[in-house]
Each structure stands twice: as structure tokens, then as C-alpha cells.
Amino acid sequence: MNAKYDLTELLAPQYFWDVDLSKLNESDSKRLIIERIVTLGTLKEIHGLIHHYGRKEVIKMIHSIHYMDPKTLNFVSRLFDIPLSSLRCYTRKLWKSPLWNS
């Protein structure tokens, strides 16, 4: 982790409405922080994550995210050069068939 970058700038209350920000630990809550900022944040905030946690750690956490909307999923795939088929949320989506398609 790079101590030069202040992670608290990324912890906007609108991303963590269900969490007490004062109790959020940057190492214990790493997956939650990365998931929320990748799915709800801006490109600048995503770059802040990379700067703080490192590209490899961010990509590792992205692989374990359970759900991303299709637009974010494609964006993350392109931004980090990750094949869609290696993302957990994409493979889970393929397993489930929509109820309205019969």
C-alpha cells in the first residue's frame, strides 16, 4: 500500500450509506471499498484505488465481486484488460437464465 495517497478522500458517504465510515478499516474492508468505488465511483476515484492498493490487488478484488451492472462490467473489463469470462459476476450471470425468457 502506498501511504502517500489518502484513502479517506475516496470514502464518500453516498458510496457507503449502509456503513459507519468511522469504523471502516482500509485493510479489513478492502473488498467492500474496492467494490463500491469500482461500481459507483468515478475514474479519478478508481485511479486513487490503484494508487493506494496497487493494480494487482484491485484486479484481484474485482474478480471476486458478485454483481456489476453490464455497463460497469464492460468498462472494468476494458480498463483493466480482464476477459469477461474470468470475472465472477459475469460467469454467475450466465448461470442464471432470466425468468421472462422461456
Residue 101 lies in a domain: no
28-62 pLDDT tens trace? 999 999 999 999 999 999 999 999 999 999 999 99
**Rounded-to-integer distance, Cα 31 and Cα 62, Å:** 8
Q: How many domains does the chain have?
A: 1
What pLDDT is stored for residue 96 in this prediction?
55
| Close Cβ partners of 98 (under 8 Å, ≥ 6 residues apart) | none
Residue 2 lies in a domain: no
| Close Cβ partners of 37 (under 8 Å, ≥ 6 residues apart) | 10, 15, 45, 46, 48, 49
Is this structure's pTM higher than 0.85?
no
pLDDT(102) > 80: no
The domain in which residue 13 lies consists of 7-95
Residue 1 lies in a domain: no
pLDDT(101) > 60: no
Q: Which of helix, strand or coil describes residue 93?
A: helix
84 alpha carbon, distance to own chain's centre: 15
Residue 14 lies in a domain: yes
**Rounded-to-integer distance, Cα 68 and Cα 73, Å:** 6
